[in-house]
Structure 1
């Protein structure tokens, strides 16, 4: 990977890792579902006027928008609003890698390798250890909602694979045409007109900066660069960078929000990271070992 692309990959990791601190900041001023509606409205407009619609049937755009956008962020924003710390959210959300593995095997027949299963077991042990520490620095509802967010992200990943090669920026922009109105309807129904009115009447510069970061930084910039890297390099070379997202998330939450993990949660976090590492790199390592054994 060239030094320029390496720098771009690190930019994405930092942007996505800081994303969780930004979300927590936004939740101080806006209810979660309203924040989702405003985020995706800003993603779509005015970008949709300049970005060509990808050659994808509308049903797949709908499925993409309802899972990776509406489902993932409705659950994630709600999880953080009801007691999921930003740093832990960045870590637990990475369980999407294993949900993607399971859903891809179930729905599109992808093969599951031994390394994938080993990584799944190790990460599941870590998540269980984190989950058993509820009511100390997180709520059970927050933990479970984050798991739901990870599963929706995974379904979106499988839908993206089913769609195949497509302009990722176009998919992000046009796919996000879907969630804004459902987010607003859910906000009206679950959060109520009074909460919406209060958030809009108190809307200030900090709220605007949060939405700009979420829409243009985490979504348009992040996915555009990530898609560029995936188009230029093998997924096995790009995917390991995603392991750094929870590292940035946990570090930034500790420095900027004062989040602290207990001893058992720290051990659980290490196990989750180890499981992710085995899932991403384990197959490559096993192949190298087999090659060396065959050569010997």
Structure 2
């Protein structure tokens, strides 16, 4: 990867890491399901008018919208609203890569190697440390909601890998369009009337997550994947919790205890170890879908 593209990959990780702090700000002004619905509505329109068809069967768009859009972000934002801090959330969500492996093995019949088993064990040990550490000082239910969000993301990854969309940005626009209505309907049913009189801070948060993190982020992601193998690009997503936790410490004063640092090391190492293979073997990354869809 060239230095310019390397900087682009690291910058994307920074954008996605800082995204958690921005979402925490937005949740001060919007209920979580409404916030998720508005995020996807803004990401879809008016971009949908210029995107063209998604390039895959509609069932795959609906499947990813249900798992990644409604499932992941619905559970994630409810968990954050319930007390899960931004930096720790960015770390816990990385276990989506491990859920991706589990679902790929159980649903697609992929081979579970000893290397992946060891990586899974190490990463889940880190997750257990987070559960114990956060369970002492925060609501365990919020933590479990974020773990469930990671599981929904992992299932969405498997569906998206199987669909193998030719253009990740266009696909994400359609996923956003199908995610927004059910999230907003759930918000009306569970959270009451929509809150549209938020101060500028709330709307600026939505602008960031919809246009910079979602459209801009997935646009850059797809551009990189068209130039490099997924196994080259995907490991840079492991920098997301680094930026997420550091930005939360610097901007919100979120505490960073030694157990959380140890957990971060274990989770990142476990995910990276499970997602790579020794030189000379074919690597199947759990971070994202394979470019050939098989």
Taking structure 2 as the reference length, what is the TM-score of the superposition?
0.92
Inter-partner Cα distance in structure 1 for 2:83 and 2:245: 16
Partner of 1:292: none
Q: Once the two structures are superposed, what CA deviation does each residue of 1:205-257 show, in whole Å capped at 9, x if it has no partner? A: 21111111101111111111111212211222112111110000010000001
Q: CA RMSD in A?
A: 1.6
Contact conserved, 1:118 with 1:279, CA < 8 A, in 2?
yes
What are the residue-to-residue correspondences of 1:39-54 with 2, within 5 Å?
39-54=39-54
Inter-partner Cα distance in structure 1 for 2:65 and 2:27: 22
What are the residue-to-residue correspondences of 1:1-296 with 2, within 5 Å?
1-193=1-193, 196=194, 199-201=195-197, 203-281=198-276, 283-284=277-278
Q: Which runs of no fewer than 5 residues in structure 1 stay unpaired? A: 289-296
Inter-partner Cα distance in structure 2 for 1:204 and 1:129: 38
Q: Which moved more, 1:254-263 or 1:15-24?
A: 254-263
Q: Once the two structures are superposed, what CA deviation does each residue of 1:156-186 show, in whole Å capped at 9, x if it has no partner? A: 1101111124211111011211111111111
Inter-partner Cα distance in structure 2 for 1:76 and 1:285: 36
Deviation at residue 138 of structure 1 after TM alignment: 2.8
Q: Which has the higher helix share?
A: 1
Inter-partner Cα distance in structure 1 for 2:135 and 2:114: 35
Inter-partner Cα distance in structure 1 for 2:183 and 2:167: 25
Deviation at residue 7 of structure 1 after TM alignment: 1.8
When Rg is computed on C-alpha atoms for both structures, the one with the higher figure is 1
Deviation at residue 113 of structure 1 after TM alignment: 2.3
Contact conserved, 1:13 with 1:245, CA < 8 A, in 2?
yes
Contact conserved, 1:85 with 1:138, CA < 8 A, in 2?
no
Deviation at residue 87 of structure 1 after TM alignment: 0.6
Q: Provide closer, same or farther for how the CA distance between residues 113 and 256 of structure 1 changes in structure 2, counting only shifts above 3 A.
A: same
Q: Once the two structures are superposed, what CA deviation does each residue of 1:95-149 show, in whole Å capped at 9, x if it has no partner? A: 0000000101111222222221111000111111111123444311111000111
Q: Which moved more, 1:37-46 or 1:48-57?
A: 48-57
Contact conserved, 2:72 with 2:153, CA < 8 A, in 1?
yes
Inter-partner Cα distance in structure 2 for 1:141 and 1:285: 41
Contact conserved, 2:25 with 2:205, CA < 8 A, in 1?
yes
Q: Provide closer, same or farther for how the CA distance between residues 165 and 49 of structure 1 changes in structure 2, counting only shifts above 3 A.
A: closer
Contact conserved, 2:165 with 2:171, CA < 8 A, in 1?
no
